[in-house]
Amino acid sequence: MPIDESRPFLPVRIAVLTVSDTRTLAEDRSGDALVERLTAAGHVLAERAILRDDAGDLVAQLHRWIDDDTVDCVITTGGTGVTGRDVTPEAVERVADKMIPGFGELFRWLSYQTIGTSTVQSRACACVARGTYIFALPGSTGAVKDAWDGILRDQLDSRHRPCNFVELMPRLNER
């Protein structure tokens, strides 16, 4: 999709949350790939954290960032599978005002081109929560690359036409 160079680029302040029972910052390749991509695109890394797969802890962290005026968007990586410990979508739903079902649908379509039918195991999702975007991605580096390169790079670019998530930010809390 086209980028309209006549429009200004507006950097988005993005918090990155890795959800994992086993990773540390030193081993977080998917988080690293996400941070590398978002900063290369001109966005601001607002904060970064790693939390274990615990829905209560995830909800608490999401609420902190939703209420933080220096965070426009949260991107999580991990915890979107179907095992008993995968609780990220449930945490996202607990804070959501509006789900964005097209995000997960498009992600799985893109992912299918890379990993085939294994994409059905992903519960990638997105929402708006009190004016903050939240995107929940699978924990693999490939999934992060598919989501950023295929969706988020354009939708978080204020110059992307015909429309993008950034231009809607001032209106997210309208009633």
pLDDT at 20 > cutoff 90: yes
> Cα separation of 21 and 37, whole Å?
24
Distance CA 158, CA 50 (A): 28
Q: Does residue 2 surpass a pLDDT of 80?
A: yes
What would the pLDDT profile of 39-49 be if each residue is shown by its tens digit? 999 999 999 99
Q: What pLDDT was estimated at residue 25?
A: 87
Q: What pTM does this model have?
A: 0.97
